[in-house]
Amino acid sequence: MVPTNRQRQGAWAEQRALRLLRDRGWGLLEHNWHCRYGELDLLMSKEPGRLLLVEVKARRRCGPDGWGVAALDHGKRRRLRLSWQCWLAEHPRWHSSSVELVLALVPLPPACGPVRWHRWS
């Protein structure tokens, strides 16, 4: 199956976020992990027991959703929480780890600028 333009853009944005996180010492545990509830874009680890769950949003311009901030609405957070629980059920050794949800807002060309990081609780 040939990826759509949107899928290629999403993959590019995920790779950009991944490179930045690796440069900061984070290691990749999962990339595009799926379960029946949804997908975990990036799951990173650093230090014993510290996890970063990264939701990546890519936009060409700042629209009504503020570069993608509004996309992490109640329904999306619920699906992420359920997906996270599925992942933990498959990986029980990480159950006691601290996890932080981060939204990576990646501007797509021709927009330029840094990746914007938003932490969610």
pLDDT at 89: 97
Where in the chain are the domains? 5-120
Residue 100 sits at φ, ψ, to 5 deg, of: -125, 135
Buried/exposed 42-60: b ≥16 CB within 10 Å, e otherwise: bbbbeeeeebbbbbbbbbe
Mean pLDDT, residues 1-17 taken together? 88
pLDDT at 111 over 80: no
Give the confidence band of 70 by pLDDT, cuts at 50, 70, 90.
low
pTM for the full predicted model: 0.87
Alpha-carbon distance 59 to 67, whole Å? Answer: 6
The reply to whether CATH 3.40.50.970 applies to domain 5-120 is: no
Cα–Cα distances (Å) from 98 to 35, 51, 59, 67, in that order, read: 21, 6, 29, 27
Half-sphere exposure (Cβ direction) of 59: Cα atoms closer than 13 Å: 18
Residue showing tokens 């503020």: 66
| pLDDT category of residue 61 using cuts at 50, 70 and 90 | low
